[in-house]
Amino acid sequence: MRADAALRRPRTLSAFSVLLAMQLARARRSWRQYIIVSSAMPSGIAILLRAMTSHPGKVLALQIISGNVVLSVAITAIAMLAQQVAWMRQNRTFDYYHTLPVGNSAVILAILVAYLLFALPGIAVVLTVGALFYGVHLQISWGLIPAILATGVALSGIGALLGIAARDSELAGLTGNLVMMAVLFLGIIPAARLPLLLVALSDALPSTYGVRLILHLLTGQAGSLAWLVDGSMLLLFSVLLFLAVDRLSYRTG
């Protein structure tokens, strides 16, 4: 049994690398637009909030920057992914993938990773703009990459569910944008300033834990406890949401 598992693991990685290469090839003509989209809106919101707040303070400034980093991830993981999944379901593209030895979740994750690779330059722009306009020092570390990836995977479960449930790609795009804006505002506004009802809603969103983990990383305070608590919550959301995706995968047929 162990030998079979050892054999399946390389095959799974190989299949996923092929899926990822397919998605990167599909996106090779539009990667510039992906970078612009993932940087323009979050950077613009960060600049707008800075212009409207005379003395935001370091804590709020870092919260805004972290929230806009997660917004950049949410644009790809929720809005763009929901529309893409709905389009693939509409055009029966999943029928092609069903002929391959891969599941729907692997296809969705490959699309997400391709989007995130193009979103990384946009996230770098958001961090640079945030540091310059708010005058704060950010601790940039390699830990940001797994934190961004974990946040993206958790949020992509929401995007995939929206794409599966939507009637068509236009409705999926509209719904994805609405959910993305909820993620934005609940991520930027500190929990202490939210009504109790919205605090409960914020706790039920994976983006909250992504913002908190990225905030800890940017301040150099991401110890083992932060990874254990926030990382575990992101993992839990990812597992639950993709189990739901697999349960509803018949809708993609």
The alpha carbon of residue 85 and the mean position of all alpha carbons in its chain are separated, in whole angstroms, by 15
Element spanning 1, H or E: none
Q: How many CB atoms lie within 10 A of CB 16?
A: 16
pLDDT value, residue 131: 93
237: tokens are 């959301």
Burial (CB count within 10 angstroms: exposed 0-12, middle 13-18, buried 19+), residue 47? middle
Place of tokens 């908190």: 212
- Domain count for the chain, please give it: 1
**What gap in Å lies between CA 114 and CA 26, rounded to an integer?**
10
Q: How many CB atoms lie within 10 A of CB 111?
A: 26
- Angle, helix 104-134 to helix 2-26, in steps of 10 degrees: 60
152: tokens are 């993206």
For the four alpha carbons of 158, 41, 187 and 132, in that order, the dihedral sign comes to positive
pLDDT value, residue 134: 92
Domain that holds residue 31: 2-252
Burial 131-144 (b: 16+ CB within 10 A, else e): bebbebebeeeebb
pTM exceeding the 0.85 threshold for the entire prediction: yes
**What gap in Å lies between CA 86 and CA 97, rounded to an integer?**
15
**What gap in Å lies between CA 164 and CA 244, rounded to an integer?**
11
pLDDT value, residue 36: 84
**What gap in Å lies between CA 182 and CA 155, rounded to an integer?**
12
Nearest CA to 148 among 226, 79, 77? 77
Residues 6+ apart with CB under 8 A from 61: 130, 134, 135, 136
> What parts of the chain have a pLDDT lower than 70?
1-13, 27, 249-253
**What gap in Å lies between CA 141 and CA 148, rounded to an integer?**
12
235: tokens are 């993992």
